[in-house]
Amino acid sequence: MNIPGNGHRKALHFHQPPRQVVSLVPSLTESLFELGMGSSVVGITDYCIYPAESLGGLPRLGGPKNPRVADIINLKPDLVLVNWEENSLQTVEALEAAGIPVWVTFPKTVRQSVDVLWTLAGIYQSSLAAVRLETLEVALDWATTAVSGKRGIRYFCPIWYGDYSEGIPWWMTFNRDTYCTDILRVVGGENIFAERQRRYPLSADLGLAESELAGERDVRYPHVTVDEILKADPEIVLLPCEPFEFTAAYQEKMESFLGGTQAAQNRKIFLVDGTLVTWPGTRLAHALRELPQLFAGEAFPGVD
C-alpha cells in the first residue's frame, strides 16, 4: 500500500499492516479504534479523548504542537500520523530525521476526510474497516440527498474569542476552505463568512489598520467583530465547546451581543460539541446524527 507524499515528502510504502502506530491527531486516534485498528496504537497525545474506555493504558506524549519527540522515537513506531494544521513542521522533520515514517494528513473537505479513512483501511488491509466505511458512505449519501436543492441555513460559528487591546471583542471563525465549513454544508448550513479571508496583523483583520501581504500565512481563519456579525445577520449561531470552550454563561452573553440578529431574536444560539464540527474522521458519523437537527429539525437515518 502506498501513501502519497505531502509536498516534498516521499511516498510511504506498506507491504503489511503497521503494528506500532503513534497518533498525534485526536480525530485519527478515535478513527483507528472505531475502524477496528486500535490494537496497533502505542502512543497518543494529551488531547486524545475518544474512545475514552480504550485509551487509559496508552502513553501520553504531550500536546499536538509540542509532543515529546524523543519519547515517540523510543516507541519505535512503524508509522506516525500527523496533521498539517494540528502538528508542527519541526516535529515532522525531527521524526523523519530519526527514520520514522510520518504521514501528514490535511483534509479540508468531508470527501477528503473519508478518503483518508479509506487509505487507512487499505494500509491495514482491513475488511472490517471497509464494511464500516461503506456504512458511513451510505449515511453521507443520505445527508447529501436530504439537503440537495434546499437553501442553506445561514450560520455563524466562532472557534475562539478574545478582546483587542482597545477593548474591542473579536471572534475567530473559518471560511469556505476548511473542513468545518464543509461538514456544516453537508448538514444544511451556509457559512456567513465563507468568503472572508484573514488579514494581517490583527488590527487590520478588525478593520483598524491597513493590511499587510499575507504571504504564506494562513488566511482561512478570520477574526470578525460584532458589527460584521450583525451586518451578516445569521439565522443560527453555533457555539462549540472546543477549541475554545463556549459555555452556557457565554451563550447568554452572546444573546446580548447579537440581539439584533435573527439567531438571537429566534433563540437559535446553540451550544454544540465542537468535535462534531472540527474533527475529520469517523466522528463524521456522530456529526451526521446530531448536527442536522440544528438546521432541519431531524437527524439523518442510517447512522449509528
Cell numbers linked to 102: 510520518
Look at the alpha carbons of 296, 298, 299, 301 in this order and tell me if their dihedral is positive or negative.
negative
Helix (H, G, I), strand (E, B) or coil at 292: helix
Q: What is the pLDDT of residue 9?
A: 52
CB 72 within 8 A of CB 56: no
CA atoms of 145 and 10, how far apart (whole Å) = 38
Residue 128 lies in a domain: no
Do 191 and 281 fall within a single domain?
yes
Domain end call among 106, 135, 154: 106
- The count of structural domains within the chain is 2
What's the CATH number where 61 sits?
3.40.50.1980
Question: Of 226, 12, 218, which Cα lies nearest the Cα of 120?
Answer: 12
Domain end call among 51, 77, 106: 106
Q: What is the pLDDT of residue 296?
A: 75
Q: Range of 80's domain?
A: 2-106
Domain end call among 57, 80, 106: 106
**Phi, psi angle pair for 206, to nearest 5°:** -90, 5
Residue 152 lies in a domain: yes
CA atoms of 221 and 114, how far apart (whole Å) = 23
Residue 127 lies in a domain: no
**Phi, psi angle pair for 45, to nearest 5°:** -90, 170
Residue 70 lies in a domain: yes
Residue 135 lies in a domain: no
Do 97 and 151 fall within a single domain?
no
CB 140 within 8 A of CB 110: yes
Do 250 and 175 fall within a single domain?
yes
For the chain, how many helices (H) and strands (E)? 13, 13
Do 197 and 257 fall within a single domain?
yes
Q: What is the pLDDT of residue 10?
A: 57
Residue 26 lies in a domain: yes
Q: What is the pLDDT of residue 3?
A: 52
Residue 120 lies in a domain: no
Do 16 and 72 fall within a single domain?
yes
Element (H, E) at 103: strand 102-105
Do 94 and 149 fall within a single domain?
no
CB atoms within 10 A of CB 125: 12
Do 196 and 68 fall within a single domain?
no
CB atoms within 10 A of CB 259: 11
CB 17 within 8 A of CB 76: no
Do 155 and 88 fall within a single domain?
no
Do 198 and 100 fall within a single domain?
no
CB 234 within 8 A of CB 155: yes
Residue 248 lies in a domain: yes
Do 99 and 172 fall within a single domain?
no
CA atoms of 279 and 162, how far apart (whole Å) = 23
| pLDDT tens-digit profile, the chain (304 residues) | 545 555 445 566 777 889 999 999 999 999 999 999 999 999 999 999 999 999 999 999 999 999 999 999 999 999 999 999 999 999 999 999 999 999 999 999 999 999 999 999 999 999 999 999 999 999 999 999 999 888 999 999 999 999 887 788 999 999 999 999 999 999 999 999 999 999 999 999 999 999 999 999 999 999 999 999 999 999 999 999 999 999 999 999 999 999 989 999 999 999 999 999 999 999 999 999 999 999 875 444 444 4
CA atoms of 121 and 158, how far apart (whole Å) = 33
Do 50 and 163 fall within a single domain?
no
Do 171 and 283 fall within a single domain?
yes
CA atoms of 183 and 4, how far apart (whole Å) = 24
Q: What is the pLDDT of residue 135?
A: 97
